[in-house]
Amino acid sequence: MKLKIAFKIITGLVFGLSFNMHAQTINPSKSLEVYLLIGQSNMAGRGTLDAQSQITSDAILMLDKTNRWVIAKDPVHFDKSSAGVGPAISFAQSMLQDKKNIQIGLVPCAWGGSPIKVWQPGAKYFDNFPYDEAVQRAKIAMEKGFLKGILWHQGESDNDPKKAEVYLEKLKTLVGNLRKDLNAPNLPFVAGEIGYFNKENYINATINKLPDELEHTAIVTAQDLTDKGDHLHFETPSARELGKRYAAAMKKLEQESSKGTGKPRVVLTFDDAEISHFTNVAPLLLKYGFDATFFVCEFPVRNQEEKKEYMTWKQIKALHDMGFEIGNHTWHHKNVTKLPRQEIENELNYIEEKCKEFGIPKPISFAYPGNRYDSISQVVLKEKGYQYARAGGSSLYDAGKDSKLIIPSYTVASADKLKNRVTTVLEGLGSNDTLVLTFHGIPDRIHPDYSTSLEFLKELLQYMKEKQFKVIAIKDIENNLEKNNGKIRL
């Protein structure tokens, strides 16, 4: 079974790569935000194609059946020849509203008629393995973009009294498996009700219990939506309306996930691509379910022993695959205030090109080496599409006053002065405060003055966990809506 899945995925990869060499669909100056679409026929779409179906946008992409990014167009899914209009395109269009410099990447993986029992690892459905293939395709998509959430529409095949009794536990298991296998413990998950036009409706009452059981989940209603005459599938306008409802729920989940509920937010950043970030830091962050940004450079080294203290690009890629943000810290860690404009661009371009080479999205966040910046460096960053830039300053981030290209931060180290300062500011954080922390090596053998012990890092993370702080990457620093205990219904 595993060999068959692997063959299908590898075949798609090889075919897809041969086309991607010439594809122009992914804009390297924009962030690609990825959504996984799973379930059965109403997620795949069975609405009739119309003139609106021919309208496309290069801001909305889809991963086709050969694992190639193409401009999205109905039918997005390819599970059956009857695939038509579903919620995918209208969802993506709604997600793009009020957002700049992003593309939406859709990963269609729904299978018409599939019961929830086949949405588990190793389960087969005819000649396919829905769960395994969805995870594999999501991981392929994550090579180019950030996985932002999952849309689920399924239940028609389980819509009877006996199956409805066990449906909630199976759905919770599915969400848990996906979050574990995709290394995203808080990944937003939105489920949709089945149409009220079904002859029987046992499953919706069960589906609606999900937000009470799992955080970062939401339900969208199917109320007032109509069928195409078969008492089973949404007709075209209703399928598009369903997509808009999915988007509204997903936006609220993403905003609450990044903000927290009146709780302080802590942005974790790690500089210089030190090997301890891969060996010591990443496992701890995954354990605590915390996000972070790793600002990478190729720090100048004097000998082979020093080289061992820094990550390889394969290890940096592995951090991206774990779900962490990779930011730009220049090629040589040079003081940008001492460089002419062209050299600043060269320093940025090198990291961008290495990211592209290793399948990491173009960075949208930057950290000034040595926390030094000037007006020229800010202009260059803005022109190249960077949205956030971290500096120093030892103050909290105030979105109303601070420029997104001069985000203040506190440097962390185990030296008494810095240790005491960081401990004090953490303990004094108030509701809705945002603190940005800058770490170097954990420990830092090359620059001991900026070293943080593994024990001190554990103390800090444990404190944040106990206090229920929201720990985020710098790319999420702008999200400001309050959380409602992880429970949203629209």
**Distance from C-alpha of 298 to C-alpha of 331, rounded to nearest angstrom:** 5
More reliable by pLDDT, 383 or 101 = 383
pLDDT at res. 479: 66
Amino acid sitting at position 164 = A
pLDDT at res. 6: 44
Q: Mean pLDDT across the chain, nearest whole number? A: 90
- What are φ and ψ of residue 315, in 5° steps? -70, -35
CA atoms within 13 A on the CB side of 43: 29
**Distance from C-alpha of 393 to C-alpha of 381, rounded to nearest angstrom:** 19
CA nearest neighbour of 150 among 184, 118, 117, 121: 184
67, 137 in Cβ contact below 8 A? yes
pLDDT at res. 186: 82
- Tens digit of each residue's pLDDT (9 = 90 or more) over 145-165: 889 999 999 999 999 999 999
- Tens digit of each residue's pLDDT (9 = 90 or more) over 319-361: 999 999 999 999 999 999 999 999 999 999 999 999 999 999 9
Structure tokens given for 306: 């020093």
Beta pairing partners, 191: 152, 219
149, 187 in Cβ contact below 8 A? yes
- Tens digit of each residue's pLDDT (9 = 90 or more) over 461-485: 999 999 989 999 999 998 643 333 3
Write out the DSSP string of 316-346: HHHHHHTT-EEEE--SS---GGGS-HHHHHH
Lookup result for tokens 């090997």: 275
**Distance from C-alpha of 45 to C-alpha of 72, rounded to nearest angstrom:** 14
Q: In the structure, what pLDDT confidence band is assigned to residue 401 with cuts at 50, 70 and 90?
A: confident
Structure tokens given for 68: 């190639």
- Tens digit of each residue's pLDDT (9 = 90 or more) over 182-240: 878 889 999 999 999 998 889 999 999 999 999 899 999 999 999 999 999 999 999 99
Structure tokens given for 85: 């209009």
- pLDDT at residue 110 is higher than 80: yes
**Distance from C-alpha of 414 to C-alpha of 426, rounded to nearest angstrom:** 15
For residue 193, how many other CB atoms are within 10 A of its CB?
Answer: 21
H helix count then E strand count, the chain: 16, 16
pLDDT at res. 258: 56
- pLDDT at residue 257 is higher than 70: no
Q: In the structure, what pLDDT confidence band is assigned to residue 262 with cuts at 50, 70 and 90?
A: low
187, 179 in Cβ contact below 8 A? yes
pLDDT at res. 483: 33
pLDDT at res. 17: 40
276, 443 in Cβ contact below 8 A? yes
pLDDT at res. 342: 97
384, 417 in Cβ contact below 8 A? no
- Tens digit of each residue's pLDDT (9 = 90 or more) over 10-55: 444 434 443 343 345 888 778 899 999 999 999 999 999 999 999 9
265, 480 in Cβ contact below 8 A? no
Amino acid sitting at position 317 = K
Segment (H or E) for 459: helix 454-466
What percent of the chain is predicted at pLDDT more than 70? 91
**Distance from C-alpha of 227 to C-alpha of 112, rounded to nearest angstrom:** 16
Question: How much is the pTM?
Answer: 0.59
CA atoms within 13 A on the CB side of 32: 29
**Distance from C-alpha of 143 to C-alpha of 367, rounded to nearest angstrom:** 23
371, 392 in Cβ contact below 8 A? yes
Q: In the structure, what pLDDT confidence band is assigned to residue 432 with cuts at 50, 70 and 90?
A: confident
Q: In the structure, what pLDDT confidence band is assigned to residue 362 with cuts at 50, 70 and 90?
A: very high
pLDDT at res. 291: 94
Respond yes or no on whether the N-terminal peptide bond of residue 443 is cis (omega within 30° of 0): yes
Helix residue spans in 130-209 (DSSP H): 130-142, 161-181, 203-207
Structure tokens given for 299: 């720090």
More reliable by pLDDT, 415 or 106 = 106
Respond yes or no on whether the N-terminal peptide bond of residue 211 is cis (omega within 30° of 0): no
For residue 206, how many other CB atoms are within 10 A of its CB?
Answer: 20
398, 437 in Cβ contact below 8 A? no
Rounded alpha-carbon distances, angstroms, from residue 408 to 29, 30, 465: 25, 24, 23
Average pLDDT over residues 435-456: 95
pLDDT at res. 453: 96
Rounded alpha-carbon distances, angstroms, from residue 145 to 63, 96, 399: 12, 15, 26
